């Protein structure tokens, strides 16, 4: 015992000794650099700003905290000129006579929309100006990992958790606050294009290289985008074409990627612009991986995915100038997914009981437009319209599933800013949402009863208003919004929301939010286990809209410690459902009962994170999440499965001063999770009630050579895998077959290599 105490004391002493040694080394390092922070006139940081010495090759970019650092070599010119540039701001030139700290303040260029344009140059940060708690993940941050699709873009973000809902076809969802992905609203360029049938695979169909920014908001949000957001909102902004301005975006972007499983992906973006307009053409294809089975369970470890996508985005006019402006987008998507036993061939085995497999094929055209007319500096009208058709054919074992969705959303909005401290947005909106589903069996040995036609229609018309008020020289901002929508079956539903932001002292922000949300459920596409498993499905009664109230608080503090910028944040959010719809497997082990659940159902979530830039080019982040998600059934608490009560994330990124080399490492630790109760199954088909805790580690190295970037890395370096994740794999046509019991990675270690090429005219 004395020995262990002595060892602990020695380790404590070494830790204390490290602090002054580290500070001394840091001071020595800083002695020969020009360093500081780039902000605007109000001292808000400007990540991504370009900083360089005039007439030299010494250059760099401000990091996510606005910090920059350039080397200073003695013996050269006594006075050098430090130039700082940022889109939306006038360039700044500062005379520098020696190493040291320089705080650079850029003056806004009133001819550009500062916030929007600036966001496209940043890595990952908290939007200090937004009253809504909003994290911004930019394309610079997405380049720190493989990020093949939207589902894989959150490896360095602690707010969003990716979850697999069907391991055979790799259906995935994005969770916020530990709740199912159906409760957070996923938008593409502000339009609700991921919903209904597109929810099942939609987040896997948006290529990561097409994305410019991802805006992540927790809890209650603005009512402008609708009534559905309950746990949060994820708004994906695609790369926007230039409109005759030198924004620094490439005219041609090409990217190719391949991994050790044999999967291959190609992306391209081609831009053309003229005076007052810009156009971008997007292309994408994914080619399937090889067939392999490391688990020896007879099933493919990952599905074979073929995807082709073509999109075009047009912008015109200046939204801040008098007159017309707007944009339009079009996407055509075709996808085929094949999974199941290694010998499965859809043409031979679909609907057959000899070889089990799942095959999904769908096409999906989408169209969205935004048209605005401004007749005064402080008044304009905006018309937003989006439409989408999803046509799907699929086989899940012996079950044939055909579905078609036709969705249209329209909103006419009036924007008014009578004074600088108050603005109002109000409008009228309509949604038409029609889904036809057909379930049929080629053979039905288990006598399942869900065969039939299912039709659902939502015709929702509503009015909304949202005001933004600023007090005390913008130190207090209050957003008050409300919607009144009428559903053709459920009548009028009122949705109020309130958000507030208070700047307590320099660098600090306190935010609070409170609001209701509601949505109508689409049973089969949102609960893929009902299609992929072999349980009987009983829909008990008339399903009413799901409703919940969410409230939360967030505090963030930014500090400037010498040349180092530190940001710390913490938040707590609680969600309570008054009606929720989910499959209940407790009443009968072999039957999924889908009904209205009106007993208490809660999500309580706490998160804290720390960002700092201790050295030039070095960024570090540490985050912790606590989740408490449960329901009360008959007065007893039932914890929801697949939620780690405790999670840790750490990231480290380092780039050389010339930006040529960059290394990124991120690690995740997941605590134990509750798993579905399988004690009623025969012993061969039983699983533990708890998962083990586990960790994953990913690293990437990027080399930049002019217009070319070469990047390579390894995901899941530790090769941790959940082995044989399919319950009942021994008898895939039997009653106990379940593909949804996935709590950890199933692919194992993955190596990848990619190349990016950016080319600009002139």
pLDDT in tens, 282-308: 999 999 999 999 989 999 999 999 999
pLDDT tens, position by position, 519-565: 999 999 999 989 998 889 999 889 999 999 999 999 999 887 777 78
Three-state DSSP class for residue 8: helix
Q: What is the mean pLDDT of residues 610-626?
A: 91
pLDDT tens, position by position, 490-529: 999 999 999 999 999 888 899 999 999 999 999 999 999 8
pLDDT the model gives residue 75 = 57
Does 246 have pLDDT greater than 50?
no
Confidence of residue 74 (pLDDT cuts 50, 70, 90): low
Q: What is the mean pLDDT of residues 177-192?
A: 93
Find the angle CA(269)-CA(272)-CA(277) to the nearest 5 degrees.
Answer: 120
Q: What is the mean pLDDT of residues 87-102?
A: 78
Angstrom distance (rounded) from CA 187 to CA 216: 10
Confidence of residue 55 (pLDDT cuts 50, 70, 90): low
Contact partners, residue 353, CB within 8 Å, separation at least 6: 398, 443, 445, 733
Contact partners, residue 16, CB within 8 Å, separation at least 6: none
Angstrom distance (rounded) from CA 97 to CA 75: 12
Query: In terms of Cα–Cα distance, which of 555, 467, 548 is closest to 515?
Result: 548
Q: Which helix (H) or strand (E) holds 523?
A: helix 523-526
Angstrom distance (rounded) from CA 284 to CA 312: 12
| E-assigned strand segments in 317-451 | 323-340, 357-376, 379-396, 399-419, 422-441
Angstrom distance (rounded) from CA 282 to CA 271: 9
Angstrom distance (rounded) from CA 514 to CA 337: 40
Query: In terms of Cα–Cα distance, which of 131, 119, 100 is closest to 46?
Result: 119
Does 479 have pLDDT greater than 90?
yes
Task: Judge whether 60 and 662 are in contact, CB under 8 Å.
Answer: no
Does 470 have pLDDT greater than 60?
yes
pLDDT the model gives residue 105 = 83
CB atoms within 10 A of CB 570: 15
Three-state DSSP class for residue 20: helix
Q: What is the mean pLDDT of residues 585-595?
A: 81
Angstrom distance (rounded) from CA 623 to CA 640: 23
Query: In terms of Cα–Cα distance, which of 647, 743, 728, 628 is closest to 689?
Result: 743
Three-state DSSP class for residue 24: helix
Task: Judge whether 116 and 122 are in contact, CB under 8 Å.
Answer: no
pTM over 0.75: yes
Size of the chain, expressed as the number of residues it contains: 762
Find the angle CA(737)-CA(261)-CA(648) to the nearest 5 degrees.
Answer: 75
Question: Residue 549, CB half-sphere, CA atoms under 13 Å: how many?
Answer: 7
Angstrom distance (rounded) from CA 402 to CA 393: 5
Task: Judge whether 185 and 313 are in contact, CB under 8 Å.
Answer: no
Q: What spatial distance separates the first Cα and last Cα of the chain, rounded to whole Å? A: 72
Q: What is the mean pLDDT of residues 261-269?
A: 96
């Amino acid at each position: 015992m004395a020995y262990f105490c002595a060892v602990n004391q020695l380790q404590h002493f070494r830790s204390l000794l490290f602090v002054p040694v580290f500070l001394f080394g840091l001071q020595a390092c800083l002695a020969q650099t020009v360093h500081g922070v780039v902000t605007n006139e109000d001292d808000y940081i400007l990540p991504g700003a370009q900083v360089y010495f005039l007439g030299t090759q010494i250059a760099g970019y401000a990091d996510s905290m606005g910090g920059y650092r350039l080397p200073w070599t003695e013996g050269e010119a006594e006075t050098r000129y430090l130039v700082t540039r940022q889109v939306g701001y006038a360039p700044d030139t500062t005379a520098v006579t020696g190493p040291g700290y320089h705080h650079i303040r850029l003056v806004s260029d009133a001819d550009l929309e500062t916030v929007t344009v600036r966001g496209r140059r940043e890595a990952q940060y908290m939007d200090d100006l937004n009253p809504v708690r909003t994290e911004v993940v930019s394309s610079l941050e997405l380049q720190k990992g493989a990020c093949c699709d939207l589902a894989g873009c959150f490896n360095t973000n602690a707010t969003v958790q990716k979850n697999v809902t069907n391991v055979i076809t790799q259906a995935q969802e994005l969770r916020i606050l530990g709740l199912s992905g159906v409760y957070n609203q996923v938008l593409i360029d502000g339009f609700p294009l991921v919903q209904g049938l597109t929810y099942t695979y939609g987040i896997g169909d948006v290529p990561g290289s097409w994305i410019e920014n991802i805006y992540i908001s927790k809890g209650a949000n603005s009512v402008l985008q609708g009534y559905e957001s309950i746990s949060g909102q994820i708004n994906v902004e695609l790369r926007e074409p230039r409109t005759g301005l030198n924004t620094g975006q490439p005219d041609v972007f090409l990217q190719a990627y391949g991994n050790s499983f044999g999967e291959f992906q190609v992306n391209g973006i081609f831009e053309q612009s003229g005076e007052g307009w810009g156009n971008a053409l997007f292309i994408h294809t994914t080619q399937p991986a090889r067939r392999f089975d490391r688990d020896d369970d007879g099933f493919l470890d990952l599905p074979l995915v073929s995807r082709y996508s073509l999109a075009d985005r047009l912008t015109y006019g200046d939204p801040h100038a008098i007159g017309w402006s707007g944009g339009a987008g079009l996407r055509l998507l075709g996808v085929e997914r094949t999974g199941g036993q290694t010998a499965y061939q859809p043409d031979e085995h679909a609907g057959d009981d000899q070889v089990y497999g799942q095959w999904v094929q769908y096409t999906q055209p989408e169209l969205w437009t935004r048209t605005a007319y401004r007749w005064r500096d402080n008044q304009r009208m905006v018309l937003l319209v989006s439409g989408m058709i999803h046509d799907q054919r699929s086989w899940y074992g012996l079950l044939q599933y055909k579905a078609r969705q036709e969705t249209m959303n329209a909103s006419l909005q009036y924007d008014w800013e009578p004074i600088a401290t108050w603005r109002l947005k109000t409008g009228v909106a309509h949604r038409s949402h029609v889904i036809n589903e057909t379930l049929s069996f080629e053979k039905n040995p288990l006598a399942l009863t869900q065969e039939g036609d299912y039709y659902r229609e939502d015709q929702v018309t509503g009015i909304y208003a949202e005001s933004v008020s600023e007090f005390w020289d913008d130190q207090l901002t209050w957003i008050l919004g409300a919607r009144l929508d009428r559903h053709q079956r459920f009548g009028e539903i009122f949705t109020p929301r309130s958000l507030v932001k208070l700047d307590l002292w320099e660098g600090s922000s306190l935010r609070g939010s409170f609001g209701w949300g509601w949505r109508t459920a689409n049973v089969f596409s949102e609960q893929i286990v009902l299609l992929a498993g072999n349980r009987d499905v009983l829909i008990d009664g008339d399903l009413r809209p799901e409703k919940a109230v969410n409230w939360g608080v967030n505090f963030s503090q930014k500090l400037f410690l010498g040349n180092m910028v530190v940001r710390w944040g913490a938040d707590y959010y609680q969600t309570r459902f008054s009606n929720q719809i989910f499959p209940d497997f407790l009443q009968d082990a072999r039957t999924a009962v889908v009904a209205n659940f009106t007993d208490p159902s809660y999500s309580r979530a706490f998160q804290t994170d720390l960002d700092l830039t201790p050295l030039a080019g070095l960024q570090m982040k540490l985050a912790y999440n606590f989740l408490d998600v449960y329901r009360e059934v008959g007065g007893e608490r039932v914890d929801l499965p697949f939620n780690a009560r405790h999670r840790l994330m750490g990231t480290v990124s380092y780039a050389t001063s010339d930006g040529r080399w960059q290394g990124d490492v991120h690690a995740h630790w997941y605590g134990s999770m509750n798993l579905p109760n399988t004690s009623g199954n025969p012993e061969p088909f039983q699983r533990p009630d708890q998962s083990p805790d586990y960790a994953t580690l990913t690293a990437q190295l990027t080399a930049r050579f002019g217009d070319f970037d070469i990047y390579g890395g390894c995901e899941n370096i530790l090769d941790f895998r959940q082995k044989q994740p399919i319950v009942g794999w021994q008898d895939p046509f039997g009653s106990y077959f379940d593909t949804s019991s996935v709590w950890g990675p199933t692919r194992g270690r993955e190596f990848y290599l990619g190349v990016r090429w950016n080319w600009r005219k002139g």
